[in-house]
Amino acid sequence: MLFTRLVARLIDRAIAMGYQATLGEVLRGKAQAQANAASGAGISNSLHLDGLAVDLNLYLNGRWLQNSEDHADLGRWWKAQHPDCRWGGDFKDSKGRPKPDGNHYSITFQGRA
């Protein structure tokens, strides 16, 4: 599957860029997606429901990089891999205001990001 192949490359790329990485959430259940939507932490139709998104945690010199901007270089690289690749750092809320989720890397499916 394309997403899985691209995630393998994403991890390799992060390491080549000098980061250490751990894997966060990939597959999310519907109840969790609904809870995230209710709290504003996520959306109810997340691509995590289909295993088409990964939350990749980056570390540099042992420090966890928690800001979305810390993922900007890797996010740009991800988006260049395939026209359907989406990076959470570009996310906006329902009113079009930036709502970045920098460690989220996904591939669009049925119009969802």
Q: Which residue has the tokens 């591939």?
A: 107
Please state the separation of Cα 31 from the chain's center in Å. 20
Q: Please classify residue 50 by burial: count the beta carbons closer than 10 Å to its beta carbon, then call 0-12 exposed, 13-18 middle and 19+ buried.
A: middle
What's the closest the beta carbon of residue 33 comes to Zn ion, in angstroms?
11
Site string for Zn ion, 55-74 (x = CB under 5 A): x-------------------
Interacting positions 2-41 with Zn ion (CB under 5 A):
none
If the CB atoms of residues 10 and 53 are measured against Zn ion, the closer one turns out to be 53
- Should residue 104 be labelled a site residue for Zn ion when binding is judged by CB under 5 A? yes
- Should residue 86 be labelled a site residue for Zn ion when binding is judged by CB under 5 A? no
CB-based contact 76:17 (threshold 8 Å): no
